[in-house]
């Protein structure tokens, strides 16, 4: 059974970047999902709001490392104009 994650270290994030002046409507979703073999995958999905996004799985050995990756990707996306 999985323990609930504290909000201090979220295991999922939804970011979006909307700028009507240039018709920009994008989203970026990051979430940690357990695998069948005891590891975890960081699932990244991105694309235009309202359409099916592109999905990428990044394997990690433990949840802590996946959450660190979420934090670094979130910081990079926020630097490019995304907000939570």
Average pLDDT along the chain, 84 residues, taken 10 residues at a time: 57 90 93 89 94 92 88 93 91
Report CA dihedral (17, 19, 20, 24) to the nearest 10 degrees. -60
Q: Residue 39 belongs to what domain range? A: 13-79
Domain at 62, CATH number = 2.20.140
- Report which secondary-structure segment, H or E, holds 45: strand 40-48
Q: Give the predicted TM-score (pTM) of the model.
A: 0.79
Residue 8 lies in a domain: no
Give how many domains the chain has, as a whole number: 1
Distance CA 70, CA 15 (A): 11
**pLDDT of 12:** 84
């Amino acid at each position: 059974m999985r323990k609930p994650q504290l909000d201090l270290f979220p295991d999922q994030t939804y970011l979006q970047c909307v700028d009507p002046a240039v018709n920009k409507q994008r989203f970026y979703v990051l979430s940690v999902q357990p695998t069948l073999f005891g590891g975890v995958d960081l699932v990244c999905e991105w694309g235009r709001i309202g359409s099916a996004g592109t999905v990428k799985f990044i394997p990690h050995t433990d949840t802590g490392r996946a959450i660190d990756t979420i934090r670094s990707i979130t910081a990079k996306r926020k630097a490019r104009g995304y907000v939570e």
